[in-house]
Amino acid sequence: MTENLNHYGRQAFDHLSQHGRLKPACFAILLVLMALVLAGCHNDENKKAAPPRPVRVMQAPVLAAGTLLTRTGEVRAHEELPLAFRLDGRLLSRQVDVGDRVKAGELLASLERDTGQNQLSSALADLNSARAAEHVAALTLNRMQQLMPAGAISRSQLDSARGDWQAAVARRQSSESAWRNARDNLSWTQLQAPQDGVITAVSASPGQVLGAGSTVVTLAASDSRDAVFDVADPHLIAQNAATPFTVSLLSDPEVHATARLRDISPQADPQTRTWHVRLTLIDPPAALALGANVQIAQAQSGPGVMTLPAAALTRIEGKPAVFIVDRQSLRLQIRPVTLASYSATDVAIASGIQPGDTIVIAGVSKLRDQERVTLAEGEE
């Protein structure tokens, strides 16, 4: 069509030019009209060239109430104490291993003691020297005090003797503090159990050079046990905190115990982006031992929800929404929804859509309301 208009325009222009009938003003008007006609034709062609966008869809499922949350986890001690030396040093020996029961005060591990022993000997020598100096200063002061009434010494000599004695006392006190510190440092080369318990982890071996505070062993301080697992959405757990959990041995589901929520970590793990959850086991059987792999189940209470892929979720005016396909007109409708919960892979819709609605589940960021679409192959 555009080519035809160009052809007719050229013929008219040649005809008028040959007979001298085309004035400059008319020539300009003719060019403007031709440009407008050509632009309109070009826009019409573009509009006709845009085909409907194919979309992937799914049918909104029937409302599901009382769903069951299941996760896998591990049995851990209710109270775990990481034990470490207060000093730097080379680990000389370790007397315990994983699973050993220990008593309060029992020796668990030792550092090399040579440096600590030398420091203690040096501090003791300084203390003995300070005590001797204090004794001499005390005798001198006592002698000066006896000579002063007879006028055998001056007041300044007595004051000097008193000053020497006070300095000797201060030095002796400082040496005693240094000796006590050296004695404590030597005692800290031995790691002892602070209370009865079971060793649940070993983090260092003999010969290893450790920094102060580096964990050597981990002590379970009581017989109470917890079930520990990770979740991508802590809201699912928090909103049903009062509902008890059932913890079963993964290798034998017949071995189980009831548990209650103890705590949820306030921050997600920076690597896995999951939250740490601890459950307190109530009267667990012996088979649910420390380190056992378990399955955790909890009935989710509350109103029914419809679960959709997380990729179906978009936003309208800052609120969550989804795109619904009108089966008659094949046009999109954006509809606000209320979320019951969400995770990295799924969203639970509490309201806003009906069972059977056709929901777009991919590429929603490129769609707009009332856009014509076609259903992807196999989804009609």
Task: Give the tens place of pLDDT for each residue, 159-210.
Answer: 999 999 999 999 999 999 999 999 999 999 999 999 999 998 999 999 999 9
The more confidently predicted of residues 68 and 222 is 222
Residues 6+ positions from 166 with CB-CB distance below 8 Å? none
Report residue 218: phi and psi, to 5°: -115, 130
pLDDT class for 150, splitting at 50, 70, 90?
confident
CATH topology of domain 53-63+305-375: 2.40.420
- The encoded tokens of residue 323 equal 């795109």
- Is the pLDDT assigned to residue 1 strictly greater than 90? no
The more confidently predicted of residues 176 and 241 is 176
> Could you give the CA distance from residue 186 to residue 181 in angstroms, rounded to a whole number?
9
Three-state SS for 43? helix
- The encoded tokens of residue 142 equal 């006592």
- Is the pLDDT assigned to residue 71 strictly greater than 60? yes
Domain range 83-111+190-219, CATH class: mainly beta
pLDDT > 90 fraction of the chain, expressed in percent and rounded: 56
Pairing state between β 190-192 and 252-264:
unpaired
- Is the pLDDT assigned to residue 301 strictly greater than 70? no
> Could you give the CA distance from residue 353 to residue 202 in angstroms, rounded to a whole number?
54
Contact 219/207 with Cβ under 8 angstroms? Answer: no
> Could you give the CA distance from residue 83 to residue 202 in angstroms, rounded to a whole number?
10
Residues 6+ positions from 134 with CB-CB distance below 8 Å? 165, 168, 169, 171, 172
List Cα–Cα distances, 133 to 158, 164, 167, 268, 336, in angstroms: 18, 9, 10, 62, 89
| Average pLDDT of span 234-248 | 84
CATH topology of domain 68-78+224-299: Elongation Factor Tu (Ef-tu); domain 3 (2.40.30)
| Average pLDDT of span 66-76 | 79
pLDDT class for 22, splitting at 50, 70, 90?
very low
Q: Domain residues of the chain, as ranges?
A: 2-49, 53-63+305-375, 68-78+224-299, 83-111+190-219, 113-188
Around 119, how many Cα atoms within 13 Å sit in the side-chain half-sphere? Answer: 16
> Could you give the CA distance from residue 290 to residue 77 in angstroms, rounded to a whole number?
7
> Could you give the CA distance from residue 315 to residue 339 in angstroms, rounded to a whole number?
12
Residues 6+ positions from 7 with CB-CB distance below 8 Å? none
For tokens 């010494």, the residue is 153
Domain range 113-188, CATH class: mainly alpha
**Partner residues linked to 188 by β-bridges:** none
pLDDT class for 45, splitting at 50, 70, 90?
very low
Furthest C-alpha separation in the chain: 153
Contact 198/77 with Cβ under 8 angstroms? Answer: yes
Domains 68-78+224-299 and 83-111+190-219 share a fold: no
Nearest to 299 by CA among 342, 246, 227: 246
Contact 347/361 with Cβ under 8 angstroms? Answer: no
pLDDT class for 236, splitting at 50, 70, 90?
confident
pLDDT > 70 fraction of the chain, expressed in percent and rounded: 81
pLDDT class for 149, splitting at 50, 70, 90?
confident
| Average pLDDT of span 50-64 | 82
Residues 6+ positions from 179 with CB-CB distance below 8 Å? 120, 123, 124, 126, 127
Q: Mind listing the pLDDT tens digit for each residue in 90-134?
A: 999 999 999 899 999 999 999 999 999 999 999 999 999 999 999
The per-residue pLDDT of the chain, averaged, comes to 85
- Is the pLDDT assigned to residue 80 strictly greater than 60? yes
Contact 294/73 with Cβ under 8 angstroms? Answer: yes
Q: What is the pLDDT of residue 27?
A: 52
Count, residues in the chain: 380
**Partner residues linked to 202 by β-bridges:** 217
| Average pLDDT of span 25-50 | 55
Would you give the DSSP letter of residue 33? Answer: H
